[in-house]
């Protein structure tokens, strides 16, 4: 499967949107079951799916794991405020974030914080080590603020296609 993002927005009809909604709920659905739910032949459903994959609308399939089941009992969001706003400092911090397995997502933001990091750690001491030994020592970082998730009310939901 081609793993590039679409350069321009691909027009999606209602059937494409239904196909995407189904795949977001169950990426392992069989071709026959997908075709049945879309009221198409298996070959038509397969061609649509392949077109969406090749165009980059669907860019990956992955398994979602239960963090607790794999020993990652602490989820947190960390807001990072940069001390400097140079291109070099930003690029270096972004490389640091990409290298840390505990950081599962990172965004640049408008407003007070420059970055928002989503992290999963085994326990509070591991979260503390990430903050104290990895993030704060970075020369471009001024401060960080951690917010520990108490309860996941709505986990990563499918996109509203």
Give the per-residue pLDDT at 100.
Answer: 98
Give the per-residue pLDDT at 2.
Answer: 46
Dihedral sign for Cα atoms in the order 94, 99, 100, 105? positive
Q: Which CATH number fits domain 1-64: 3.30.530.20, 2.60.40.420, 3.40.50.2300, 1.10.10.10?
A: 1.10.10.10
Axis crossing angle, helix 31-38 with helix 14-25, rounded to the nearest 10: 140
The model's pTM: 0.85
- What kind of architecture, by CATH, is found in domain 68-148? 2-Layer Sandwich (3.30)
The model's pLDDT over 3-42, given as tens digits with 9 standing for 90+, comes to: 444 455 889 999 999 999 999 999 999 999 999 999 999 9
Q: Which residue numbers in the chain have pLDDT < 70?
A: 1-8
Sketch the domain layout of the chain as residue ranges.
Answer: 1-64, 68-148
Dihedral sign for Cα atoms in the order 137, 138, 140, 142? negative
Give the per-residue pLDDT at 6.
Answer: 46
Give the per-residue pLDDT at 31.
Answer: 92
Chain centre to alpha carbon of residue 121: 17
Chain centre to alpha carbon of residue 74: 17
């Amino acid at each position: 499967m081609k793993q590039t993002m679409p350069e321009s927005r691909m027009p999606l009809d209602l059937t494409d949107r239904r196909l995407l909604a189904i795949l977001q709920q169950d990426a392992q659905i069989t071709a026959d079951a997908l075709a049945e739910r879309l009221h198409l032949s298996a070959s038509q459903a397969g061609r649509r799916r392949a077109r969406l994959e090749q165009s980059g609308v669907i860019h990956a399939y992955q398994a979602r794991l239960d963090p607790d089941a794999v020993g990652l009992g602490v989820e947190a969001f960390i807001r990072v405020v940069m001390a400097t706003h140079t291109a070099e400092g930003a690029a270096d911090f972004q490389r640091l974030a990409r290298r840390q397995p505990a950081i599962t997502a990172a965004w640049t933001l408008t407003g007070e914080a420059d970055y928002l990091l989503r992290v999963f750690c085994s326990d509070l001491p591991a979260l503390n080590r990430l903050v104290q030994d990895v993030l704060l020592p970075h020369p471009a970082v001024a401060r960080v603020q951690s917010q520990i998730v108490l309860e996941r009310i709505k986990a990563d939901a499918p996109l509203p296609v």
